Every structure is written in structure tokens, then in C-alpha cells.
Amino acid sequence: MTTTVRQPGATARLKPTFDGAALAAELDQVRRHAWQRQRVYGDQIGQASKVDWTCLALRSPGGDGDRTDPGGPGPVDFADTPWLERTPQAREVLRSIPAPLRAVRYMALGPGTHSHLHFDTKYGPSWGVARLHVPITTNPDALLHLDGEEHCWQPGEFWFGDFSRNHQVGNDGTEPRVHLVIDCLVVPELAEIFPDSWREFLLEGGAVLNRPATPLPGSPKEWECAFEVPETFTDWEEEDGAFLDPAVPRRRATVHAEEDHLLLTYEGAAPVRLIHLEDGEFRYAGWSEERTVQLHCAGGEVVLRSRVGSTVRTLTLPMLHHLR
């Protein structure tokens, strides 16, 4: 990973602190509902966790209250689930975050449960994403090991963790350890809740800063087109810049209108909704500006970009045809 500014560390204590007792009382209400095992997300929803690691979604792709995965590029963006209406204390936490929210989940690690050592691909500011934690219930034997350091965050505290680094969680206590886990896009305003020591990294080249969505100029039909892309570009977990290799096989991509928005469909893959940024450049719904597609319909070109911090990799390709 190449960035121009060094990240200050793997974790940061954030501002403010919340009422842990009030959050715990609210948690008791929704714990009466049977939570489901956490699932991963790749090109689609993956298998359920084999250990006692359960979730309740307050925000999810499409606002589906039964989804326990963190989501990713897909045909719908993130929305509140019905559970968020029932958790006013959690809503207060979310209102304090000056950034667009992605998945928000209560995550419960059962007694005697341990994860394997792993990392969450591209879940860090260098790719435009931040994962925040507010512990609600914990115990001294519920520990997070992140990037070689041990943590036991306390109820009501507010933390950032770079979970793109190696980490493992375990609970050797007798009660579940429950955190409110919040994924958000990195924007300049997010630096306000980080320590001052993070300001340079977040604002001056270490992080991908996401631009706000803007209305699509003209009719969606005017943007319909087809082109070929390196197949590695269709894999949002691909190694940074792998799509630039001229030896990588290509697959057909089609942009077509659906009501008031655009869907990008790669050959053999599920469609992804496009979110317009500016000048015909789009990110994927459910993802950050780590990956964008820019359509120059008048010029008959498509520009593919991937980003890591201030590093931008670009590939310009011809359109096969403009479908208008």
C-alpha cells in the first residue's frame, strides 16, 4: 500500500463519549429478538459464521433488517432498517458522526467464542472507509488483538480501528460482548471526531476522501453504453492496480438505465448501481471512491480509476458503442 502520509496507528479514541448505561438498557429491548449469525460479503452474501458471533442490523443494503453482512458494491445503497426506529440511543450515536453511513450493526460475541486471525480487505481510510466501534457490554476477558496490540474497549467509549490489518477477537468471559459497529465513508468532516494527530493523514493524502453524490445530468437513457474492462476491475477486492496489467483478460460491461438511476452490469456478474459524483464519474453503490468509472459518452471513452490514499491509478478505454 502506497500513501504519501503515514497513518498514526491502528486505532484511535474518538470524540465524544456516550451513555453506556442508556445504550445497554436499550440493547436489552432488542436482545429479546433472536439475532442471526454474522455473514461475510464478497460478490454476494456469504456463509454464516460457524462461531457464536451474531448481529442485528440497524442499517444495511436496502434497509433489510435480516441482513448481517457488511454489504459491498451492489444494486442498492445502504438504508435504515426498522430496528433503528426502536433504538433512539443508537440513533443519537449515529447523528454524532459527520460522515455518510454504510452498514450499522450490533455485533455480539458469545462466551467462549474466538475468531480466527484475519483482515477485512480494504476496510480502512486508505480506501475511503472507516469502521467505528461503541462498546455496550464487555468484560475483562473479551479482548481484541489488532495489529499486534491488545484492547478491551469500555462501554460508551468511541473507537476507530483499522480492521484492514490483522486482527482477532475472543471472549473468555461468561456474558456476550456487544459492540455497536458503524461503517462510514471517509469525508473531510470525519476528521473532526479524530484526535488532532490524525488530521494530516486524513486530510492531506493518506485517506481517500469521498465526494458527495450529485444528480445525474440529463436523462439516464443518455448514459447507456457498453465497453470492455479488465476482469480484475470487476473484483472490488482485487490487488491495488492489478487491472492495469495488459495481459489481464477483459469482459464486457454494459451501463443501462433503470427508472431514475444507472446500473452497471459486468458479463457474468450481478449488477451494480452507479452513484454520480461529478463530470460523469461514478462510484459503486455500497462502496467508496476506491473504485470509480467515468463515462465520456461524447468522446466515446471510459476512464477506470482505483485509489489508495493520494495514489490514483487510471486506465482509459474506448466505448464499444453508445447505446443512446
First to last CA, the chain: 40
Per DSSP, helices labelled H in 157-220 are 199-203
DSSP state of 22: H
Which cell numbers in the block locate residue 244? 492495469
SS3 234: helix
So what's the pLDDT on residue 44?
66
Q: What is the C-alpha separation between 277 and 253, in angstroms, rounded?
A: 20
pTM of the predicted protein model: 0.95
Which residue type sits at 288?
A: S
435480516: which residue's cell? 66
Q: What is the C-alpha separation between 141 and 303, in angstroms, rounded?
A: 50
So what's the pLDDT on residue 47?
76
Which cell numbers in the block locate residue 72? 459491498
DSSP state of 213: P
Q: What is the pLDDT along the chain (324 residues), one digit of tens a residue?
A: 444 689 999 999 999 999 999 999 999 999 988 899 988 776 667 777 878 899 999 999 999 999 999 999 999 999 999 999 999 999 999 999 999 999 999 999 999 999 999 999 899 999 999 999 999 999 999 999 999 999 999 999 999 999 999 999 999 999 999 999 999 999 999 999 999 999 999 999 999 999 999 999 999 999 999 999 999 998 888 887 899 999 999 999 999 999 889 999 998 788 999 999 999 999 999 999 999 999 998 889 999 999 999 999 999 999 987 665
So what's the pLDDT on residue 43?
63
Could you give the domains of the chain? 11-203 (2.60.120.330), 220-322 (no CATH)
Q: Give the start-end residues of each E strand in 162-249.
A: 167-171, 177-185, 225-230
Peptide bond into 188 cis (omega under 30): no
Q: What is the C-alpha separation between 114 and 53, in angstroms, rounded?
A: 9
| Exposure b/e, 276-307, CB count within 10 A at least 16 = b | bbeebbbbbbbbbbbbbbbbbbeeeebebbbb
Which among 250, 90, 271, 53 has a CA at the least distance from the CA of 168? 53
- H or E element in which residue 90 lies: helix 88-95
So what's the pLDDT on residue 3?
44
Q: What is the C-alpha separation between 74 and 265, in angstroms, rounded?
A: 10
SS3 220: helix
Q: What is the C-alpha separation between 46 and 30, in angstroms, rounded?
A: 25
Q: Give the chain's largest Cα–Cα span.
A: 64
Angle separating helix axes 20-30 and 88-95, nearest 10 degrees: 130
